[in-house]
Every structure is written in C-alpha cells, then in structure tokens.
Amino acid sequence: MAARRSTVKTEFEIVMSPKQTGAFRRLLLRWYRKNGRDLPWRRTRDPYAILVSELMLQQTQVATVVPYYKKWLRQFPDFAALARASQQDVLRAWQGLGYYARALNLRDAARIIMQRHGGEFPRAIDQMQQLPGIGKYTACAVASFAFNQAAPIVESNTARVLARLYNLRESIDSQPGRAHLWREAARLLPRNNAAHYNAALIDLGALVCIPRKPRCGICPVRRFCRAKNPARLPIEKSLLRTKRVVERHAFVVRHGRILLEQSSQRWRGMWILPPLARGRFRPSPAGKRAIYRNDFPFTHHRITLAAYSCSGPKRIAPSQRWFRSIDRVPMPSPHRRAAQALFANASPRQERRGAASA
C-alpha cells in the first residue's frame, strides 16, 4: 500500500477506495444504531442546546456534564434567557465545571446573537467562528448536529480513531498532523446523514477505540485499520512537565462574615479568598503558618492553596465584599472547599482579629 509522503516526512497511509469508504460508513452506522450512547443533546436539533453541550464538553467528561447540561437548560432555556442573565447567575450555574471563560463566552455569544442575528443562530460555519469561544471544531459540531451539514469534526475521540485507522506517524497536535486529520475526516464524511456519522465516530473512540487499551476485538471497522500497534497511537508532543505552585490567600472574618475577592484573572469573575498580597493583609502571630492547605490541578500546574488567618484591611478594595453566607456565591471549587472548612470553624479570636483593623 503506497504511503503519502510530504516535505515534513509524515507517514499517512491511504487505506480505502471509494467502495471501501462506503463499506466503512455502513458498518460504523450499523454499530452505532445498536451501541451508540443515549445522550440528552442527541435528542435535539436546537443549535443553542447543542452549543451549550459542546462548550461544556470541552476538557470535561460526559458523565460530569450531563447533570450540569440539564440544569443549565432549565435555568437558561434559550439564547434570550442567557443574554438577560447576570454574570453572577451564569458563573453560579457553571460552578464546578471549571474553565469559567467558557461560561462567559457563551453568555457573550448569546448577547451577540440577540443583538446582531435577531435571536437566530447563524448557519454558516465562518459566521459561527466569529462568535466568542467558538473555534473550528465547535462550529463544525453545531453545523453537523444542529443543521445536519456535511461538516467534518476532529476532537479527541475522532482524532484517536483516525490516527489509528491511517497509522498516522505525525503528532496529532502538530500543524501537519492536524491538517491530515481534518482532511481525512472530510474525505470519509458522507454528504447525507453527517450528524449520525459524526456521532458514531465519536462513540467509536469513546467506547471501543479507547486510549492505551483499545478494544480491537470488538471494533466494527477493524478490517480497515492499518495501525501496527494501536495502543501507541496517536502520537502527541511531549507533555509539559507539571509545575508546582503555592498560592497564598487570606482568611478574614468579621461579625460572622467572610471577606472574598472577585477574581479578574484565572477564575474570571468568581469569588475567591483574597490573595495574600504584600502590605494588604497581615497574618496574625498565630497565622504565620497556614491554617489550611489543599492541592488541586490546573492545566499543567499542581497548585497548593494555602490560607492564613489575617487581620482585616483598614479599607477593602472595590473588588472585595463581606459575605454572611457563601451558599449562593459563585466560587471555584478549591476556594469553596477552603472557605467552607475555615468559615464553619472560625473562632471568636479570629473574629476579633478580623475586626481589629476594619
């Protein structure tokens, strides 16, 4: 079988004739009809609901997304409802999913759709990509699943399937590798019934052609696969080494209230324990050692959140507020866990320290 060669020395085997391509599609769709996952966003052609699911599914597992998706649609059933929502309501509904820029981009997109598109989601892929937070994959996914357009999709599951199917020896997160995947995804895509085909390819990757230990024995299209060692594919660039970071924050209570700060950086509008900036907070003599520590991952970092008992500032910053209860305050999970543990057990001595300089 001849291999496609390029100036970047990429090995990408051409394995299917048009007749074989038709057989591949039929076998894949037959398997999908029997084994495909019953997911709530597959029961609708509403572009809003599908866009919500696609943004929630970015870097988040399906099992985690399902309850958030259902609750979100109850609270914000369409673009109009989301466009009217406050930032705090949106962040509170997204709380726990992480990567909060996705939620804010979704609300910004809803407002643009209401203002510039009369409440109708655009059908053209290039117009979709002009909306906040919508890249090539998301636009193609909405075009396919909402409008049944013949738009190829390449995400983690389909990339793995295609890399093994064609024995791709190029890194899938390199420019040449991505270009190969998108080209071959488009070549395999049927003109009709694209939505079911794309869903089938995703589920094949999620259920059968899985990472590390692919279930090749039950693969419905294994006779088309040219991977010599499927478990070693796809090839990815060397992962960045995890960096360990310690982030220090102040725990301040006063008259039964806790001081929080609205983040303008990583947490994008969520409320957090105030950073322990030099000169802003003074750890008490007993608070020179952290009273709370907890580790959490964030992209390529392993972060230790360390909280210190501090005296309150003489004047709080515009981004800070006192809260008597944090139950309905949108907070990232690491800071919520810290605040709940500390606030529930705040001692009268900490209360006095917080009020001393406030």
Phi, psi of 15 (to 5 degrees): -115, -10
Half-sphere exposure of 146 (CA within 13 A, CB side): 22
Give the number of C-alpha atoms closer than 13 A to the C-alpha of residue 208, restricted to the C-beta side. 22
Tell me the two tokens of residue 32.
């999908």
DSSP 106-132: HHHHHHHHHHHSTTPPP-SHHHHTTST
Distances (CA, A) of 114 to 108, 139, 254: 10, 18, 43
- The catalytic residue among 11, 13, 54, 184 is 54
**Residue 246: phi, psi to the nearest 5?**
-105, 125
C-alpha–C-alpha distance, residues 143 and 194, integer Å: 10
Query: Is 54 designated active site?
Result: yes
> And the tokens for 189?
């895509």
One-letter amino acid of 64: T
Q: Known catalytic residues?
A: 54
